[in-house]
Structure 1
Amino acid sequence: MEIQKWAEEQATLLLASLGNRWLHVQGVVERAKWVGAIFNEEDRNLLIAAAYLHDIGYAPPLQKTGFHPLDGACYLYNCNQDRLASLVAYHSESTFEAELRGLLPELERIPREHSLIADALTYCDMTTSGDGKQVSFKERLDDIFNRYDHSHIVYKAIKSATPALTLDIEHTEQALNQKGLIAKS
């Protein structure tokens, strides 16, 4: 619980003034609390902490590269939160956008965690709308594709990442179903 409390304090301090971004983060946290039922207590707390922090790189004081997964991860790394840094760095298949931005070498300095927790964080992010409401994965993708022009880097990255994102969603839904929970996407 200690890591979760620390993450909540950091997120509140750095993101609460960012309007819809803060609503999105709070929605992702609520989703993580539900999805966390598939994990033991320690991993559940880690997932919820990562949900609080996944967009911390949008906080103006932390922006160094302008790429929020990397900026957030660097901050967390400097706070000696290596595992959280990894989860934040790679959430929602960020490598696709990092490559388009020419930041993949910097991102890859942070070791990537391949785990159900990492998949679950992506699930929580990709099934929560920009204003914090629960949506299906398809609705989230449609929203992103409607907000950005075809030539925009975010559009291109998400389009390329869709197969990998789909696998993250499927892994999480399988785990939810194995625990007798109905996937809410």
Structure 2
Amino acid sequence: MDTIESVREPNLDTQLRQLERRLRDERDEVPPAVLHEWVESARARFAEARIVTFVPILVERLVRTHLDLDRIAARTAERLLAGTLPRRWAHTQGVARRAAEIAGLLSHEDGKVLAASAWLHDIGYAPDVAELDFHQLDGARYLARAGWPERICALVAHHAGAAAVAELTGLTEQLAAFDDEQSVVRDALWYCDMTTGPDGQPVSFADRMAELRARRGPGDPVVRALATNEEERAAAVRRTEMLLSH
């Protein structure tokens, strides 16, 4: 004969899967893998609940507090970078601060996309993500596998003049899987990255380029690509500065 516990547990599983489906329908921009991870994490917090009937309600309340896309992006970046690459994490936080300053000048959707992309732009450096030694593409592919919105994946893929680096490293075809949107959001992401130093401090575009050359050296593909993409980077910075001046 089944015990009360053996009946309750499958019923709880069913309710939580239904909750996931409902939340996915409401917030289709949230990666399904992330949503599932949060539901299971919340479930674990209430594993000792004496009244199992209340667990789905408690799980839903907890998960809903995390459903903002930029919050999800921030936690994802922190998980991937903070422990293994603290300096890269400091830079990422600085870029995100820059993005927060600009987001209010954009539409609500564009502001959210910019904020999330700023948090995620350098996750391709993380040991758990890096595959091709091309951080823009590595990050974008990781996000795509996790179910992140295509637009955010593409912004990460193409930030900081990635196309020129791809041409030098033979990865143009792989990068072409992601569209390079020519937009104010794309410019703003480049601006945030190009005016934030490696420790997260605001810097000028000229100082950022000088630091990049000194840190990477002349043989690095990123430095070699500056012959092609430095003016493109500078133009994105100028356009965003014009936006900020109005």
- TM-score of the two chains, using structure 2 as the length reference: 0.70
**CA distance in 2: counterparts of 1:167 and 1:159, whole angstroms:** 14
Aligned partner of 1:37: which letter? G
Which residue does 1:148 correspond to in 2? 216
Q: Cα deviation per residue 1:151-173 (whole Å; 9 max; x = unaligned)?
A: 22221112321110111111111
Moved more, 120-129 or 38-47: 38-47
Q: Cα deviation per residue 1:26-49 (whole Å; 9 max; x = unaligned)?
A: 000011111222212221121111
Q: Larger C-alpha radius of gyration, 1 or 2?
A: 2
Taking CA–CA contacts closer than 8 Å with sequence separation of 6 or more, which of the two structures ends up with the larger relative contact order? 1
**What runs of 5+ residues in structure 2 fail to find an aligned partner?**
1-66
**What runs of 5+ residues in structure 1 fail to find an aligned partner?**
179-185
Runs of 4+ that moved beyond 6 A: none
Moved more, 142-151 or 109-118: 142-151
Which residue does 2:71 correspond to in 1? 5
Moved more, 141-150 or 93-102: 141-150
Moved more, 74-83 or 17-26: 74-83
Report percent identity of matched pairs: 39
Give the 5 Å matches for 1:123-142.
Answer: 123-142=191-210
**CA distance in 2: counterparts of 1:46 and 1:60, whole angstroms:** 25
Asked if residue 14 in structure 1 is aligned to residue 107 in structure 2, the reply is no
Give the 5 Å matches for 1:98-177.
Answer: 98-177=166-245
- Please report the RMSD computed on the Cα atoms of aligned residues, expressed in angstroms: 1.2
Aligned partner of 1:6: which letter? I
**CA distance in 1: counterparts of 2:237 and 2:72, whole angstroms:** 27
Aligned partner of 1:16: which letter? A
Aligned length: 178
